[in-house]
Amino acid sequence: MSKVLSLTKFIIQERAMFPQATEEFSTIMTQIALVGKIIARELSQAGLIDILGSTGATNIQGEEVQKLDERANEIFVQAFEDSHIVGTLISEEMETPVSVSTTNNSGTYALYFDPLDGSSNIDVNAPLGSIFSLHRLSSLPKSNESLLRAGSEQVAAGYILYGSSTILVYTCGNGVQIFTLDPGIGEFLLSAGNITIPRRGKIYSVNEGNRWKWTSGMQNYIAYLQETDAPSGRPYTGRYTGCLAADVHRILLKGGLYLYPGEVKKPEGKLRLLYECAPLTLVIEQAGGIGSTGMERISTIHPTALHQRVPLIIGSPEDVETAEQVLMC
């Protein structure tokens, strides 16, 4: 019989081995796991209660807010409200940061999150995710500027993926672990540890409907992946769910690359730096991969706005390096 290791026990063990995994960090991860369980439960009942469809409102990104986007955001906020550890919440669904601190202690954490990723999948029972990023601040933020931090400063990051099962994937700078929710006992159990991404893959994941909006460099790169050339493993296979967390998770396990490029008329692309690109980059980097805009590495970018967008090319190191070489010339 294989060993059963719960998230709770894993975190306690990690604390002994790895200084970054402090007791405060354990508490935060336990709350994130709770958020994942609650959202998973609500998603499993979504068709039965009046929670599908749009709220009729648009968010700060100018995008239509689904009822489940709003509900998932509420679940995150409630889990960290009156927190003694996390002082500030920054969400895709909230225009400005929310202070949830009950103390004015000097050390505090800021949690950045995309409460529900892949919203266009809500009504069609396709995969959804939640993405999170954790920063440690030396003091409570006095302005939004102090929350504009590079991905390299993250102390932990990860995602929950609501698919055929619910999984929690995270790193605190000590490798990447995958936990699967056992709904019978309501616990996340370790299902794969110290994940390594293949150095090169055979999958590309991109919304090809945007092809004619891309630069010619990007159009040529995707055409290159589609050419037949057995020695370099081409053609690649296309896979795209419309849920970033799900598509990046496939790339983490199988190799290859995910791309959401900038467009000629919208060079910044679609995805958000602080709570989509930076956390997924930390996970992929910890597994041996790369996150890039094509021009610079995601983890080195110093944000200029909380909801800043950047192009994203993420995945196997050799695939992302090839894409960078093609796009930079």
Binding region for ligand AHG (CB under 6 A) out of 38-46, 115-123, 149-157, 287-295: 115-123
Asked if 4 contacts 189 with a C-beta cutoff of 8 angstroms, the reply is: yes
The DSSP bridge partners found for residue 128 are 162
- Interface with ligand AHG includes 6 (CB under 6 A)? no
Binding region for ligand AHG (CB under 6 A) out of 111-119, 183-191, 277-285, 302-310: 111-119
Binding region for ligand AHG (CB under 6 A) out of 32-40, 46-54, 118-126, 230-238: 118-126
Q: How far is the CB of 271 from Mn ion (least distance, A)?
A: 7
| Residue 243 contact, options Mn ion, ligand AHG, none, Cβ 5-8 Å cut-off depending on partner type | ligand AHG
| Burial (0-12, 13-18, 19+ Cβ within 10 Å), 150 | middle
Q: How far is the CB of 174 from ligand AHG (least distance, A)?
A: 27
Hey, CA dihedral for 133, 138, 142, 144, is it positive or negative?
Answer: negative
Binding region for ligand AHG (CB under 6 A) out of 13-21, 237-245, 284-292, 303-311: 237-245
Decide whether 279 or 317 has the Cβ nearer to Mn ion.
Answer: 279
Residue 186 sits at φ, ψ, to 5 deg, of 65, 30
- Interface with ligand AHG includes 117 (CB under 6 A)? yes
Binding region for ligand AHG (CB under 6 A) out of 117-125, 151-159, 173-181, 187-195: 117-125
- Interface with ligand AHG includes 152 (CB under 6 A)? no
Strands (E), 63-193: 64-66, 86-91, 98-99, 108-117, 128-137, 156-162, 166-171, 177-182, 187-192
Residues 239-278 that bind ligand AHG (CB under 6 A): 242-244, 270
Decide whether 63 or 182 has the Cβ nearer to ligand AHG.
Answer: 63
How many Å apart are CA 314 and CA 294, to the nearest integer? 9
Residues 26-65 that bind ligand AHG (CB under 6 A): 63
- Interface with ligand AHG includes 120 (CB under 6 A)? yes
DSSP class of residue 273 equals I
- Interface with ligand AHG includes 114 (CB under 6 A)? yes
Q: How far is the CB of 217 from ligand AHG (least distance, A)?
A: 20
How many Å apart are CA 205 and CA 222, to the nearest integer? 10
Decide whether 122 or 290 has the Cβ nearer to ligand AHG.
Answer: 122
Contacts of 122 (CB under 8 A, 6+ apart): 46, 52, 66, 68, 116, 128
Q: How far is the CB of 10 from ligand AHG (least distance, A)?
A: 27
Q: Could you tell me the CA-to-CA distances from 106 to 28, 77, 87, 111, 156 in Å, in that order?
A: 17, 22, 10, 16, 19
CA 323 centroid distance within chain: 21
Question: Can you give the binding site for ligand AHG, defined by CB under 6 A?
Answer: 63, 92, 114, 117-120, 207, 242-244, 270
